[in-house]
Structure 1
Amino acid sequence: MKFSILPSVLALASSVLAAPGTLKPLLKRNPSGSFSLVAYSLDSSVVDIFYSDGIAYAGDSSKWTYGSVTTDVTFVIQDTEMITTATTSGVTLDSDTLLYIRPTEDEVLPVGFTGNGVTAPSDAVTTNFIFYGTWLMWEYDDGTLSDSFRAKETNVTGVYELYYDYSNLYPSGYKTPIVKSSS
């Protein structure tokens, strides 16, 4: 089941904000240059998205001691792919490290990264990422947009593993973060 109401709500919101008598569509906007991804609605403050051994997490990366390679990251969007760069001193990611989701029916699956000796799952998708304002979205082939990210707290307080809920199952035990660019 696709979540298709969001574009309608966003279009309505943009028309309400438009000057009387004018209707302007809400336009897709991709950040220019390098940016971070952040998650809202997980803790009382905004938390960063970070990389650890090929999996995407949200929270303070310095608290996460379980990964062999853990780093804060920045992104550049190019041709709907999210190219990932390490920002933690002494850590380098492969130049082709990309953010991926796994849009698989009736499953809530981890968000991750390609490259760096980590084998990405066969159903991993690295394309069709776009932004609506600062909100990270994934675009279905039919043009429908989705921001169905989920997060589940790990055994470290304030650190969450990031997931993608293709079928909008809203499973218990998961939070529903808003993932946005920092710019």
Structure 2
Amino acid sequence: MKSSIFSSVLAFAACALATPATVQPLLKRNPTGSFSLVAYSLASDYIDIFYSDGIAYAGDSSKWPYGSITTDVTFVITDTEMITTATTSGVTLDSDTLLYIRPTDDEVLPVGFTGNGITVPSDAVTTNFIFYGTYLMWEYGSGSLSDSFRAKETNVTGVYELYFDFSNLYPSGYETPVVKSQS
């Protein structure tokens, strides 16, 4: 009896080893329709990501006294671009306003927005954003994913400037928020 059980187990193991494993492609779980982006771990609850003069901030936009254009925003993801729309009454952003990061080695650089007459840095990237569940990720050309967002509190309590840490430097003085979609 022991011999037949052992033989069955060996036969099953041989079949399992002989069958090639199939690698499934990453399933993109992008939100549908309009959504907000929020940052977790900067406060006791999530805080909204907002637009001010082409830079991304997290916090209460009504407390931000700077910038000629400051607005709460929503996003729609098309292909892998994050199209941005103003939601504050009386504020309009250009229809081609996109979220960007700057994936530059060994630097922690601000997250920003294109459009509206803003000069966009030459290393800014507006594509390859995807969601893993509700988590915002950026996909490298190799297929690896990164969610290396950082935040630094401004001189306004509870308002943070949003950054991207391409090389995972984890510099002192920066928080490590989780950026997610919120319907």
For the criterion TM > 0.5, the same-fold answer is: yes
RMSD, aligned CA: 1.2
Matched residue, 2:20: none
Residue in structure 2 matched with residue 48 of structure 1 by the alignment:
48
SS in 2 for 1:62: helix
Q: Distance in 1 between matches of 2:25 and 2:179?
A: 22
Cα displacement string for residues 3-30 of structure 1 (whole angstroms, at most 9, x for unaligned residues): xxxxxxxxxxxxxxxxxxxxx9973200
Residues of 2 paired with 1:85 and 1:130: CA distance? 18
Listed as ranges, the gaps of 5+ residues in structure 2 are 1-23
Separation in 2, partners of 1:94, 1:68: 15
Q: Which residue identity lines up with residue 123 of structure 1 in the other structure?
A: D
Partner of 2:179 in structure 1? 179
Instruction: Tell me by how many angstroms 1:45 deviates.
Output: 1.4
Give the aligned residue type for 1:160: Y
Name the aligned partner's letter for residue 58 of structure 2: A
> How far apart in 2 are the matches of 1:169 and 1:95?
34
Aligned position for 1:57: 57
Number of aligned pairs?
A: 160
Q: Tell me the amino acid that sits aligned with residue 28 of structure 2.
A: K
Structure 1: distance between partners of 2:117 and 2:128: 24
Q: How many angstroms does 1:87 deviate by?
A: 0.1
Q: How big is each residue's C-alpha offset from its partner over 1:92-118, in whole Å with a ceiling of 9 and x where there is no partner?
A: 000000000000000000000000010
Matched, 1:145 2:145: yes
TM-score by length of structure 2 reads: 0.86
Name the SS of the counterpart of 2:126 in structure 1. Answer: coil
- Runs of 4 or more off by more than 4 Å in structure 1? none
Q: Give the TM-score normalised by structure 1.
A: 0.86
Alignment partners' CA distance in 1, 2:69 and 2:106: 31
> Does 1 or 2 have the higher relative contact order (CA < 8 Å, sep 6+)?
1
Give, in whole Å, the separation in 2 of the partners of 1:26 and 1:172: 33
Partner of 2:160: 160
Q: Which is higher, the Rg of structure 1 or of structure 2?
A: 2
C-alpha offsets along residues 50-88 of structure 1, whole Å, 9 cap, x if unaligned?
Answer: 000000000000000111100000000001000000000
Distance 1:53 1:25 in 2: 38
Gaps of 5+ in 1: 1-23
